Amino acid sequence: MNFLRSRSEQLADYLRSCITRNELTDPLPGTRTWCKTLGVSHTSLKIALRMLRREGLLIIHPRKSIRLARAASRAKSRGKAIRLRSQQRSASSPDGHFHPMVRYLYYGREYSESSFFELPPLVELLHSKGIELSLERCTHARLKAIGREPLPSHEMLLLSSLPAAHHRYFAHMKGNVLVCGHPSPGSPLSYVTLDDESAIRHAAQSLLRRGFSKISLIIDKGTPPGVLQIISAFHKTCADWPHQPVLAETLRFELDPDAMRSSARHFAARVKARQGVLVCQPVSVTMVMTALMERNIEIHRDVELIALNTPPNSIHVCPKLVHYPFPLKATVKHYADAAVRFFETGTLPRIQKKLPLEAVPATP
């Protein structure tokens, strides 16, 4: 179950699965009966039914009836259409079919579910293609154990936020695994990542061109390869700038909200002169900005703040900031396309995709 999703979305997922498995037939029960049977509120059920109506699975006649649409039978066929080649079908399924499943694994010591804002749209897109998604928070021991287990032919793994050392556990599964982020050096695994090194260089250079001689990079304490590569690219950019001296510092924030707030206030307390600040998601740029403003430090005058990898709706702040938005639509599409290709052919081709981050100016 994906706990990032609302009760209505989870209910829609359940009913959608029932429809595609042909477990619901006309006449469907009334909403009062359904609420009692499912143990949900009328509001949650109403929203879920509207979702399924928009998808063409239900026909709703207000105050009269709810019935299955013709599209429901097509959805059932679509859910069964994604199959492995005949020699790879799951032996545990009596009809030779399987239920395609994408398992999204992340390293729980450093990150939480809230860090992965791409999951809700990914779940929606995969469901539309007849593919389920599960989310699992893993320890070091759990990742090692999964790497040793034989992976069922109807499962594909998405690996996110894993430290480089953990990637080697999955090297032998290269046809079943997609890394969501930077791979470890020399890894044979396919990946879809962001070109955040280019973005951090571009952002740092924009501050250096404006005469900032002190720049702070604020980033989380995670240890996946991407974090370390961002830090390296930042310091190299500042060190290579022809007009020295340039004071470049990296501050590593915990992602726990209370710890992050404390770190943001500690940072703001020692800002004494005009400087540039780069804040990388999942560190909250809003929290850093608030801490600065509590100290009467003016954005765009005392401090120039640039946000990188920003999720949707996280940059609605005043004053406006230069930011590099996370390419949500493109990222989700690449993940889903890889999953479809895997379930159609039984293996992943070599994927090495870097998605650019484009700067959005601080327009009024």
Same domain, 315 and 204: yes
What amino acid is encoded at 41 in this protein?
S
Distance CA 230, CA 197 (A): 5
User: pTM of the prediction?
Assistant: 0.72
Residues contacting residue 305 through CB under 8 Å, at least 6 positions apart: 277, 279, 285, 288, 289, 292, 299, 321
Nearest to 250 by CA among 286, 214, 281, 205: 214
- Which of these three, 60, 81, 102, is where a domain ends? 81
Residue 288 lies in a domain: yes
pLDDT tens-digit readout, 102-116: 999 999 877 776 678
Same domain, 124 and 71: no
Q: Are 308 and 247 in contact (CB under 8 A)?
A: no
Same domain, 209 and 189: no
Residue 1 lies in a domain: no
Same domain, 166 and 127: yes
Mean pLDDT (the chain, rounded): 84
Which helix H or strand E contains 78, and what residues bound it?
A: helix 70-81
Distance CA 351, CA 179 (A): 10
Residue 2 lies in a domain: no
The b/e string for 316-335 (b: 16+ C-beta within 10 A; e otherwise) is eeeeebbbbbbbeeebbebb
Same domain, 245 and 296: yes
Query: What pLDDT score does 353 carry?
Result: 95
- Which of these three, 42, 57, 81, is where a domain ends? 81
Same domain, 182 and 260: no
Domain count, the chain: 3
Same domain, 202 and 316: yes
Same domain, 334 and 216: no
Distance CA 134, CA 208 (A): 44
Residue 360 lies in a domain: no
CATH number of the domain enclosing 43: 1.10.10.10
- Which of these three, 31, 47, 81, is where a domain ends? 81
Nearest to 304 by CA among 235, 223, 204: 204
Same domain, 172 and 209: no
Same domain, 219 and 311: yes
Residue 362 lies in a domain: no
Q: Please tell me whether residue 324 adopts helix, strand or coil conformation.
A: strand
CATH number of the domain enclosing 123: 3.40.50.2300
Distance CA 103, CA 361 (A): 37
Same domain, 206 and 320: yes
Residue 206 lies in a domain: yes
Nearest to 49 by CA among 75, 21, 29, 70: 29
Residue 237 has, within 13 A of its CA and on its CB side, a CA count of: 26
Same domain, 186 and 254: no
User: What are the CA-CA distances from residue 198 to residues 205, 221, 237, 314 (Å)?
Assistant: 11, 21, 10, 22
Query: What pLDDT score does 43 carry?
Result: 84
Query: What pLDDT score does 54 carry?
Result: 74
Residue 226 lies in a domain: yes
Pairing label, strands 352-355, 190-194: parallel
Residue 44 lies in a domain: yes
Of residues 201 and 114, more confidently modeled: 201
Structure token pair of residue 40: 């949900």
Confidence band of 264 (pLDDT split at 50, 70, 90): very high
Its domain, for residue 13, covers: 7-81
Q: Please tell me whether residue 209 adopts helix, strand or coil conformation.
A: helix
pLDDT tens-digit readout, 73-108: 444 444 443 433 323 333 334 444 457 889 999 998
